[in-house]
Amino acid sequence: MTALADRPRHASRPVTAPAVVDRRIRAAAEAVLCASLVLVAFWWATGGGITDLAGWASGLTSLGRLTGLLASVLLLVQVLLMARVPVLERAFGQDRLAGIHRIVGFTSFTAMLAHIGLITWGYAAGDLIATPGELWDLTVSYPGMLLAAAGTLCLVLVVVTSVKAARAALRYESWHLLHLYAYLGVGLALPHQLWTGQDFTSSPARTVFWWVLWGLAAAAVLLWRVALPLRRSLRHRLVVTSVVDEGDGCSSVYVTGRHLAELGARAGQFLNWRFLSGAGWTRAHPYSLSAAPDGRSLRITVKDLGDGSAELPGLRPGTRVLVEGPYGRLTDRARTAPKVALIGAGIGITPMRALAEELAGDVVVLHRFTGDPVFAREFAVLAAERGFGLVPLPGPRRAHDSWLGAGVGAVDDLTALRARVPDIAERESYVCGPGPWTRLVVRTLRAAGVPAERIHTETFGW
């Protein structure tokens, strides 16, 4: 175990150049997406899309073409959002990417269904009753359509299991495996688009556009979801050195390896971990670092909340580890203010524990917990060494619409927060906890006057 005093302290900048760069990257990414959608719509319009609207059947077919084009762009954007592209990870952060991924996903799926329905209806000469038969004929007769149908079924499976009620009924491991079918669904649609889609091949510019977009999506997945994690795992040769019981169902896993400084991990980030200790190694689990990386070792602290986390206390020293990452923007990179508030709930305090060790300046830590708080001794040592403030928030949540514990009294959340951190509006705020709890914290921070761009969140649960 590495002593707290041995770990490096990184000075924070009141206004970081990376934060400015990230803001520009976000704006550029949004502009590229909008431009791509406008471009394919323009090609649709100049290719007779608008004039075809004059007829009933041709109008249905034309709208089907348009929705198919928009769905294709958004589906490929989905792939890029899932590909862990570093520049996007750093600029947006996981929570924001997940939100965009959800919106783009349901939008692309809706457009895809509209494409199927409208174009089939149009091919049936506008006869609604004849549409099911026309759909069957298109599926079995047109090149690539059987593959496209299989891809559509894969995407239906992904979307259905992404609905909140379905997700609640599934284990994380099962949901994550099913979610990977999105790659297969998108990939199976390619032959259909190239063989039967005139909007993809009717001009060199269009052909180049679509092949480049497909190529970027495929390259991103192969590079950042496959090649880079494999290279890092082989390069660093991570192994478990020890497992420590932290109490209250929490365990810390210490990992060491070669050249860990090259991994580029920062306090506040997480990695996807695969422990080669049994059959479960095929499933990656996202766990945050609970100590600032020192170039020699890494530490994660996990609460027993599922199949993967339940196996960690039984890990033996020497167990090999595969990793993907590091990921996340809950780091000093996002900081633009000299004062910081770190707010965590339960095991969501783990990235805050790492950040408290790394961040310099005026820092206050707010920890909501029930039972015995994890890292109580470590926080006490860090507070004494670093001079930051500790604000414990013990007890169960006092109400479903409050993120604070019962011990704060009868005052509302905003009053309670301002009483404990009077200058909260001046602070950069980092928040980690369950999704509903985190949203309540963000609502209170916004009411307290904290600008949205100075609130950085990471949620767990799914």
Cα separation, 446 vs 414, in Å, equals 10
Specify the pTM: 0.82
Residue 10: per-residue pLDDT: 42
Cα separation, 362 vs 12, in Å, equals 10
Residue 196: per-residue pLDDT: 63
pLDDT at 403 over 50: yes
By mean pLDDT, which of 93-97, 120-124, 287-291 is the weakest? 93-97
- Tens digit of pLDDT for each residue in 125-167? 889 899 888 888 888 887 777 777 877 887 777 777 777 655 6
Residue 94: per-residue pLDDT: 81
pLDDT at 29 over 80: yes
Q: What is the mean pLDDT of residues 232-257?
A: 92
Residue 81: per-residue pLDDT: 87
Residue 168: per-residue pLDDT: 62
Cα separation, 243 vs 261, in Å, equals 22
Tell me if 221 sits within 8 A of 79, measured CB to CB: yes
pLDDT at 401 over 70: yes
Residue 357: enclosing H or E segment and its boundaries?
A: helix 350-358
Pick from 66, 67, 158, 152: nearest CA to 106:
158
Residue 60: per-residue pLDDT: 93
Q: What is the mean pLDDT of residues 405-409?
A: 74
Instruction: Tell me whether residue 25 is exposed, middle or buried, using C-beta atoms within 10 angstroms of its C-beta: 0 to 12, 13 to 18, 19 or more.
Output: middle
User: pLDDT higher for 82 or 255?
Assistant: 255
Q: What is the mean pLDDT of residues 63-86?
A: 90
- Tens digit of pLDDT for each residue in 246-266? 887 889 999 999 999 999 999
Peptide bond into 326 cis (omega under 30): yes
Distance from the Cα of residue 376 to its chain's centroid: 29
pLDDT at 59 over 80: yes
Q: What is the mean pLDDT of residues 175-194?
A: 70
pLDDT at 431 over 60: yes
User: pLDDT higher for 423 or 333?
Assistant: 423
Query: In the structure encoding, which two tokens stand for residue 24, read together?
Result: 């520009």
Angle at 279 between CA 276 and CA 280, to 5 degrees: 75
User: pLDDT higher for 308 or 456?
Assistant: 456
Q: How crowded is the C-beta side of 460, counted as CA atoms within 13 Å?
A: 20
Residue 164: per-residue pLDDT: 66
pLDDT at 13 over 60: no
User: pLDDT higher for 244 or 369?
Assistant: 244
Q: What is the mean pLDDT of residues 338-356?
A: 93
Q: What is the mean pLDDT of residues 114-130?
A: 90
- The pairing of strands 320-327 and 238-247 is antiparallel
Residue 195: per-residue pLDDT: 66
- Tens digit of pLDDT for each residue in 129-140? 998 888 888 888
Residue 194: per-residue pLDDT: 66
Most confident of 153-157, 369-373, 429-433: 429-433
Residue 47: per-residue pLDDT: 86
> 253 forms bridges with which residues in the sheet?
243, 300
Q: CB neighbours of 161 closer than 8 A, spacing ≥ 6?
A: 167, 170, 175, 178, 179
* Total residues found in the chain within this entry: 462
Cα separation, 357 vs 110, in Å, equals 46
Pick from 295, 267, 431: nearest CA to 357:
267
C-beta atoms surrounding 2 within 10 Å: 15
Dihedral of alpha carbons 50, 55, 59, 61, sign: negative
Residue 101: per-residue pLDDT: 86
Pick from 247, 461, 252, 456: nearest CA to 370:
247
Residue found under tokens 């997406």: 33
Q: How confident is the model at residue 4 (pLDDT cuts 50, 70, 90)?
A: very low
Position 166, amino acid: A
Q: What is the mean pLDDT of residues 62-87?
A: 90
Pick from 413, 412, 367, 374: nearest CA to 388:
367
Domain 237-327, what architecture? Beta Barrel (2.40)
Pick from 360, 337, 345: nearest CA to 450:
337
Listed by start position, the domains of the chain span 17-230, 237-327, 332-460
Q: How confident is the model at residue 461 (pLDDT cuts 50, 70, 90)?
A: low
Q: Decide yes or no: CATH 3.10.20.30 for domain 332-460.
A: no
Residue 137: per-residue pLDDT: 87
Cα separation, 35 vs 201, in Å, equals 20
Quote the mean pLDDT of the chain: 85
pLDDT at 11 over 50: no
Cα separation, 335 vs 228, in Å, equals 27
Query: In the structure encoding, which two tokens stand for residue 408, read together?
Result: 């704060």
Percent of the chain at pLDDT exceeding 90: 42
Outline where DSSP puts E strands in 227-376. Answer: 238-247, 250-256, 270-275, 285-288, 297-303, 320-327, 339-345, 362-369
User: pLDDT higher for 237 or 10?
Assistant: 237
